[in-house]
A and B are shown apart, each in its own frame.
Chain A
């Protein structure tokens, strides 16, 4: 992203996230790259209310209105599908929390403008998976042939809405201790969930501490994969620019500390403060000099702009879930050949979650994983193996140098 594009991109996003009108707008020459950036990160609807009554080129206004209308229509469809599925599950005694899309949208001034693509439901008790499957089947949903990840099951409604039934908070992160910790934390989610009214519909959601923690884990999961775009950072800004109870903040910080994710929290939060307008609010976390504080103490010290820049450049170049840059697949935790082998093994387990339980099958599954990797590279035009490894190495250095994950 060009410097001037980036400046305008951040300026307009900050205005949208803080519900302020921009005092001036970019020149016509800036709009092409700016429009592409908003589209790449799926945040074009977020700036609709800022720009709909302002003088902008027609060729910008038209796709912006189209994106906003499409986001609104999709939000409503997802909302009522969620409502239906939650009510069917609850009738069968299955407790779920609504994650991401509908749930996160409530933090925005116009929830419809937070674009979502599917329905995400987290089982609070994984032992209820079989009952949930039965309810889904009776409701006409079908399980997808191709599954991506071992932390959820992908289903499809008769109206082609994708539904992810989560049985863990995130995919395994390939660190035994951290994986065990996240699993333990998942088991501490209160069985009695708060219910929030989202666009007139009452839905069960995670308590604020767990919701924030899930937002952070979700960013981490995508960062360890091909990356995530600015939309998830916008969620982070909206979440914290509102009142949050001290006990929820403290629970959240405890969860982060238990899993040793302070470095990641610090980076994500610092980026949002330095570049995206996170200031907090008086009844939650708020800025004081070079830190975010709350009534119970320090939320996190802020990193320098230079440190943030390295990370944010990765976010910007990747676009939504890394689709914006060729050669992005994963980051590798650790250095050297062994780290790559370990990651390759993790990918095998991810691709073959059931078969990989039998070590005798591993050699065959490794070959299968490698063949799938080569085929996908060709199909998705990711570039050569060499370029993927080079990109992986560059992104992985962020982990070691800046984020200090799980240590």
Chain B
């Protein structure tokens, strides 16, 4: 199965982050999922770099200056939202929400 980081392309344009499904058929068109900066960071760390949820929360805690235990549930919630959008996080081979 194709890794998520290969199947999806994260783009930054017009002040937003867009997650494009490169494997989509095209017609019908699957619109990109729009992410904010925090969502884009979680994607990069957890999905692209393969960090665990804990390590992702820890890394973000250092970047944003917010305790990891505060960020951890947000990371989980974000990953659940992605799963709700049809992104199969198990396909990445790491732990999921």
Interface, chain A (partner B; CB < 8 A): 45, 48, 52, 65, 68-69, 71-73, 76-77, 80-85, 87, 110, 112-113, 139-140, 157-159, 199-201
Contact = CB atoms under 8 A, between A and B. Distances in A.
A335 B13 CA distance: 49
Given A77-B29, A157-B27, A68 B22 contact: no
B20 A76 contact: yes
Given A80-B24, A199-B9, A65 B14 contact: yes
A201 B30 CA distance: 15
A158 B14 contact: no
B14 A81 contact: no
A113 B24 contact: no
A140 B27 CA distance: 10
Contacts of A48: 14-15
A66 to B, nearest CB: 9
Contacts of A139: 27
Contact of B14 (A69, A83, A87, A200): A69
Interface in B1-49: 9, 11, 13-16, 18, 20, 22, 24-32
7 contacts: A65-B15, A69-B16, A72-B11, A80-B29, A84-B26, A157-B27, A200-B9
A368 to B, nearest CB: 36
A72 B28 CA distance: 18
Given A80-B24, A199-B20, A71 B14 contact: yes
A83 B11 contact: no
Contacts of B20: 76, 199-200
Given A76-B18, A76-B32, A200-B20, A113 B27 contact: no
B22 A72 contact: no
A195 to B, nearest CB: 15
A196 to B, nearest CB: 15
Name the residue among A69, A76, A158 with the largest chain B CB count within 10 angstroms.
Answer: A76
B18 to A, nearest CB: 7
Contacts of A87: 26
Nearest to A64: B14
Given A80-B24, A201-B22, A68 B29 contact: no
A45 B26 contact: no
Name the residue among B9, B29, B30, B32 with the largest chain A CB count within 10 angstroms.
Answer: B29
A84 B22 CA distance: 11
Chain A contact residues: over half helix, strand or loop, or mixed?
A: helix
- Shortest Cβ-Cβ A-B pairs, 9 listed: A84-B26, A68-B14, A112-B13, A200-B9, A80-B26, A69-B14, A72-B13, A72-B14, A200-B22
A27 B13 CA distance: 27
Given A199-B9, A199-B20, A200-B9, A84 B25 contact: yes
Contacts of B9: 199-200
Contact of A159 (B18, B22, B27): B27
Nearest to B28: A159
A199 B15 CA distance: 17
Given A110-B13, A199-B9, 17 more contacts: A48-B15, A65-B14, A68-B15, A69-B15, A71-B14, A72-B13, A72-B16, A76-B31, A77-B31, A80-B24, A81-B29, A87-B26, A112-B11, A113-B14, A157-B27, A199-B11, A201-B22
Nearest to A113: B13
A76 B30 CA distance: 10
Nearest to B10: A200
A69 B17 CA distance: 11
Contacts of A112: 11, 13-14
A110 B16 CA distance: 13
Nearest to B9: A200
A83 B9 CA distance: 15
Contacts of A73: 31-32
A45 B16 CA distance: 14
Interface string B46-64: 0000000000000000000
Given A158-B27, A200-B20, A45 B11 contact: no
Name the residue among B13, B15, B28 with the largest chain A CB count within 10 angstroms.
Answer: B13
Contacts of B31: 73, 76-77
Given A69-B16, A72-B18, A200-B20, A81 B11 contact: no
Contacts of A72: 11, 13-14, 16, 18
A114 to B, nearest CB: 11
Contact of B27 (A45, A68, A84, A110): A84
